[in-house]
Amino acid sequence: MSHAEWKHLPEGVQRVAKVLHDKGHPHAPVMLDDAARTAQQAADALGISLGQIAKSIIFKRKPDAVAVLVITSGDRRVDEKKVQALVCLDGQKLGRADADFVKSSTGFSIGGVSPVGHAVPPVTLIDRDLLRFDEIWAAAGHPHGVFRLQPMDLKHLTGAPVADVTVQD
């Protein structure tokens, strides 16, 4: 995808496309016909398993109001206590982020939060369960935008560590 083609994309997708291009990622964002605001909708639209969706969950670290991004497999639930233990110091707490906080801290609306291209760089963790797949898909800054990658591409793109962050069944 060329820079000229980016101009026709929503602003959030343009930011993601630029990051992917600048980091040498081989796959540009694609726009789906229908919105994929949930991991299940994205998996259905792409014809892949739910686990292959790299969903971006935003938490708010208290009291410093830092955004914490957890990139997790679509078929997993984040264990907030595990995340808190990894990103909070001296009794700090982690809380859910509301739509206004997500938009202001990431620049994306819920349903389109990408792992890259954030307005303010968040503290980021990558779910180790994503590593069970050869190929995954992530949101690209808009509910219709997604991009393809391999799980370890997330380390290159975000600089984040891989961690055990999900509820174990």
At 6-56, the pLDDT tens digits run 667 889 999 999 999 999 999 999 999 888 888 999 999 999 999 999 999
Q: From CA 146, how far away is CA 63, in angstroms rounded?
A: 32
pLDDT score at 91: 83
Strand partners, 31: 145
Q: How many CA atoms lie within 13 A of 23 on its CB side?
A: 19
pLDDT score at 37: 84
Quickly list DSSP for 128-164: GGGGG-S-EEEE-SSTTEEEEE-TTHHHHHH-PPEE-
pLDDT score at 4: 55
Residue recorded with tokens 């990051």: 19
> What is the band of 122 on the pLDDT scale with cuts at 50, 70, 90?
very high
Q: Is it the case that residue 1 has pLDDT exceeding 70?
A: no
Q: Class of the 3-163 domain?
A: alpha beta
pLDDT score at 36: 86
Q: Could you tell me where the DSSP H helices lie in the chain?
A: 3-6, 11-22, 39-46, 80-87, 99-106, 153-158
Residues whose CB falls within 8 Å of the CB of residue 76, separated by 6 or more in sequence, listed in order: 51, 127, 129, 166, 167
In eight-state DSSP terms, residue 50 is G
Give pTM, 2 decimals.
0.93
pLDDT score at 24: 95
Q: Is it the case that residue 2 has pLDDT exceeding 60?
A: no
Rounded mean pLDDT of 49-71? 95
Q: Is it the case that residue 141 has pLDDT exceeding 90?
A: yes
pLDDT score at 6: 61
* % of the chain with per-residue pLDDT over 90: 85
